[in-house]
A = this chain, B = another copy of it.
Amino acid sequence: MKQLLIILILLQTFTVFAQNEDLIKYANPLIGTHKMGHTYPGATVPFGMVQLSPETDTLPYEVNGRYNPSVYKYCAGYQYDDPTIVGFAHTHFSGTGHSDLGDFLVMPTVGELQMNPGTEDDPKSGFRSAFSHDNEHAEPNYYQVMLEDDQINAELTTSNRVGFHQYTFPKSSDAHIILDMMYGIYNYDDKNVWTFIRVENDTMVTGFRQTHGWARTRTMYFAMTFSKPFKQYGTSDYSKKQVYKGFWRKFDQANNFPDIAGEQIRMHFDFDTEEGEKIKIKFALSPVSTANAVENLNTEIPHWDFEKAKKDGQQLWQKEFEKINVTTGSEEEMVNFYTAMYHTFLGPTTYMDVNGQYKGLDQNVHQADGFTNYTTFSLWDTYRALHPFFNVIQPTRNADMVQSMLAHYDQSVHKMLPVWSHHANENWCMIGYHSVSVIADAVMKDNIDFDANKALDACVATANYRKYDGIGYYLDMGYVPEDKNSSSVSKTLEYAYDDFCIAQMAKKLGRDDVYKEFSKRAENWKNVYDASIGYMRPKLSDGTFRKDFDLLSTHGQGYIEGNAWNYSLYVPQDPATMIEMMGGKKQFVKHLDSLFTMDLPDEFFAHTEDITREGIIGNYVHGNEPAHHAAYLYNWTDQPWKTQDKIRMILKKQYQAAPDGLGGNDDCGQMSAWYIFSSLGFYPVAPGSDQYAFGSPAIKTATLHLENGKTFEIEAVNQSDKNVYVKKIELNGKAIDRRYLTHSEITNGGKLTFYMSSRPKK
């Protein structure tokens, strides 16, 4: 990992053990931007609506009507090893394995006007530019890069809803700002549906971009203002759809015409510049209207002080980072920890204007009543550790996220909670109905700033929506039959876990009928366990297991993003019974040992999605989520120390302070939340319960500043890279010999002390 050196050089100062120190410097947005991490390096504030970040390519989603596999690496718009930047767009996902967004590409140029992006091989053929990592810098809420072709220094910062660009130009009588409304990430069938732009005056432009794609009916509105009046402007229309011309021919619509609409539009704004002159742009978003975008702009950044905007946003990051002060054994671990914090606080993102309005799933405008509306719920990923992490360190925001999910439910024509939702759309990505896990986890952890009984009703309705992904079969037969609905084992296992969550929540709320029904459903995982082979296995609608079955393959075997080895372990709600069924503790330990040590053929990796070779340890796939709890399962055997060394091994191997340091998609913070929990020494194996399984802390000390005003301290005495085994655990000075911590033990405040050793405690 050759970039590691560069990263470390960028960290100019480093002080161990200082509290309230500058934590911003540890978070490095470039980590994960190479290969499979799918993070973006640009500027944003915690949970911000705007993610203003460079784009390094403009690939179409399809070529000749077929999926273009090369787009995959551009899920976040930027790949670290690319040599050119085509512009800076305002919306990005962090760490996803499918994509969308990339709204409103802005690019500064000088010299002859070029309205096409040009190619990577010949960036001077268009408005794109070569760049070098030697003159690129990223930190939370700040990104800088020298655009080499035209020697323009680009700097980006943001507030929640406003992107702030600062471009330092050479002297020129021919300087341009390109606004490319055609650019998009995963630009499916040139996915623009419509574009509308108004040049309100010589410093203000408003409009919207409507797309289909992963979000099927999506519109983002904007208001863009320049620090200096442009001297002229123009429009190029590349629409395939033929727009009615008629009496519009009265006008020269290409030049200085303020009233623009079409399917595929690019604009240019022209300036004279002095040497070193800075042209600044504030670019506000709104999910509702251009009027709201203007209000967001004027409310959030009413000035033109780029440094102030940068500092204001960085103070928000510092405040978030200070919620956990850690000390570690190395600078790289500090970087890993706070970069993980950074990644976990990138989303879900704000989806509400300063006036409280947002676009709902029904495409109507709603007023958020008493909560902040969030979007981008990658729930198949994030229910596992991200939302549990928020229940510890961001409970107010997590309760608002639940409110946002309940609003989605209210607006859903299916009356379903979100599956994978973003920007007023459900995209149905992946499987399960894991909203119920997020809601149950919040309820079980008493983070209930919402109507819990209504939330339970929403969970039950979701779990009973027969049209959805085999639920009808699941309700009738107790499992999803593979011949009726593929990935049937994964679905059955995850539905059963989700049902456990509903049961727990119902029990707490005194809803016994629901508790009974869903406790029974929570055992449905047993229906797909084939005792004859010791694995979960696809079952057919006639009740027999499918004969043809491959334990290693991830394709067509009844699973999704995981093989039988990994996914068969997915009974987080009841590992003890699962282990019993799988032959008991001894047998299970052998099984787990094999998982982590198997030597698999390269062919296996070629067909594993979303992860690099490095994302796999033996046959254990950390780069995808289904086995994220697996290393903790030793806790349910007689050899818990194997959890401890496996966790430390995974932390070391899968998270490194380099652009290619993430072994798989960060998945909207799930991978990073795993890092944080595991570094602190515990992990929520079954969200919806109040327990965290102990692992092995990788920090030296940690202080969690909780929203209730209390602090929870963690100390790992004698911890080192060698001393990975837990000899003893004390809570508030009293030894505890159970293998889990409860949520209230954290929220009550206090101190958890791990005594570490180089030898396992057998």
Query: Contact residues of A with B, CB < 8 Å?
Result: 62, 65, 98, 188-189, 191, 193-194, 196, 198-200, 206, 208, 210, 212-214, 216-217, 241-244, 246-248, 250-252, 256-259, 261, 289-291, 362-365, 413-414, 419-420, 426-430, 467-469
Contact = CB atoms under 8 A, between A and B. Distances in A.
Given A194-B193, A198-B413, A413-B199, A247 B430 contact: yes
B290 A244 contact: no
Contact of A427 (B210, B247, B414): B247
Given A188-B242, A196-B363, A414-B258, A250 B469 contact: yes
Contacts of A290: 362-364
B213 A244 contact: yes
A243 B191 CA distance: 8
Closest 7 CB pairs of A and B: A247-B428, A198-B413, A291-B364, A189-B242, A250-B469, A258-B413, A289-B364
17 contacts: A65-B242, A188-B242, A188-B244, A189-B242, A193-B194, A193-B241, A194-B210, A194-B212, A212-B261, A214-B246, A216-B261, A246-B427, A246-B429, A259-B413, A290-B362, A291-B364, A365-B365
Given A250-B468, A250-B469, 20 more contacts: A62-B242, A188-B242, A191-B244, A193-B210, A194-B194, A194-B210, A198-B362, A199-B413, A200-B413, A206-B362, A212-B241, A212-B261, A213-B244, A216-B244, A216-B248, A246-B428, A246-B429, A250-B428, A258-B414, A291-B362
A98 B363 contact: no
B250 A214 contact: no
Contacts of A469: 250
A187 to B, nearest CB: 11
Q: What copy number does this chain have within its complex?
A: 2
Contacts of A200: 413
B98 A246 contact: yes
Contact of A257 (B98, B426, B467): B467
Given A199-B413, A259-B414, A261-B216, A208 B363 contact: yes
Instruction: Label chain A's interface by main secondary structure.
Output: loop
Contacts of A250: 428, 468-469
A261 B247 CA distance: 31
A376 B210 CA distance: 26
A126 to B, nearest CB: 26
A289 B411 CA distance: 14
Nearest to A210: B194
A289 B365 contact: yes
Nearest to A420: B247
A246 B67 CA distance: 11
Nearest to A216: B261
A463 to B, nearest CB: 15
Contacts of A198: 362, 413
Contacts of A98: 246
